[in-house]
């Protein structure tokens, strides 16, 4: 009788340990599956966040620059000065450095100000897409995630010369807007860029355009005073 009691006690003790391991396993399985699910979702969240931030920034930059150029239309129209020599040959083309910097600074300031509205976004991703199963891509309710965005703006000015007809060339001053976006998702931080080019001033040059070209830049390597001296005036 005593042997039976001892045997029963040992059996009970053995059953307790496997039960503890079983409960631990039941707890670990959901945790591991959850971690694996989030690892699978993070690239999708980052891709959607970058795409939304980029598209909104492109739209905002286009609208803002168009607005600033419309407000400074008179300044842009008088930005270029073309001179000819006594023989009516093209002598030089000069861009007003004050006008160039005024427009360039106004664009950079306004764009950066408007990009502040993108500092906090929300990205909605269909559940089927989020799970990464291609058969369910685009299906299911949208799951929303918060996204933070910081931005930097760089504006530069360049010029182009293009033949548009017989003895006619179009000289254009172009404004380049480069926006760098830091997109912060629940997983990590990534960087995307938006590049846009806008015509700021244009004039048509009549007659033959010589090959000599002299460019005068300011200390900050931007177009402060750009003079195109074709050396035709003797």
pLDDT in tens, 85-108: 777 777 777 888 888 999 999 999
Q: Residues 204, 210, 214, CA angle at the centre, nearest 5°?
A: 90
Q: Which of 22-26, 34-38, 165-169 has the lowest mean pLDDT?
A: 34-38
Predicted confidence (pLDDT) at residue 67 exceeds the cutoff of 80:
yes
DSSP class of 72? T
Q: Domain-by-domain residue ranges, the chain?
A: 2-229
Exposed, middle or buried, 204 (CB in 10 Å: 0-12/13-18/19+)? Answer: exposed
Predicted confidence (pLDDT) at residue 194 exceeds the cutoff of 80:
yes
Q: Mean per-residue pLDDT for 181-203?
A: 88
Which residues make beta-bridge pairs with 201?
Answer: 173
Give the pair of three-digit tokens for residue 139: 């299906």
User: What confidence score (pLDDT) does residue 31 get?
Assistant: 64
Mean confidence (pLDDT) of the chain:
75
Cα 16 to chain centroid distance, Å, stands at 60
User: What confidence score (pLDDT) does residue 234 get?
Assistant: 38
Give the pair of three-digit tokens for residue 74: 């008179």
């Amino acid at each position: 009788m005593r042997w039976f009691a001892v045997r029963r006690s040992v059996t009970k003790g053995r059953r307790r340990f496997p039960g503890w391991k079983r409960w631990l396993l039941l707890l670990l399985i959901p945790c591991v599956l959850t971690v694996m699910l989030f690892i699978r979702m993070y690239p999708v969240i980052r891709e959607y966040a970058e795409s939304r931030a980029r598209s909104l920034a492109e739209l905002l930059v286009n609208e803002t620059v168009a607005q600033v150029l419309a407000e400074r239309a008179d300044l842009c129209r008088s930005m270029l000065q073309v001179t000819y020599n006594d023989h009516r040959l093209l002598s030089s083309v000069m861009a007003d450095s004050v006008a160039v910097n005024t427009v360039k600074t106004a664009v950079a300031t306004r764009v950066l100000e408007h990009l502040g509205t993108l500092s906090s976004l929300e990205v909605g991703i269909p559940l089927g897409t989020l799970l990464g199963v291609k058969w369910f891509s685009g299906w299911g309710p949208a799951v929303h995630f918060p996204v933070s965005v910081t931005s930097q703006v760089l504006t530069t000015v360049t010029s182009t010369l293009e033949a548009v007809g017989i003895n006619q060339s179009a000289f254009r001053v172009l404004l380049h807007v480069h926006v760098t976006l830091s997109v912060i998702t629940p997983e990590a931080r990534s960087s995307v860029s938006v590049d846009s080019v806008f015509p700021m001033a244009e004039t048509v040059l009549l007659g033959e355009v010589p090959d000599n070209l002299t460019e005068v830049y300011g200390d900050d390597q931007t177009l402060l005073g750009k003079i195109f001296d074709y050396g035709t005036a003797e």
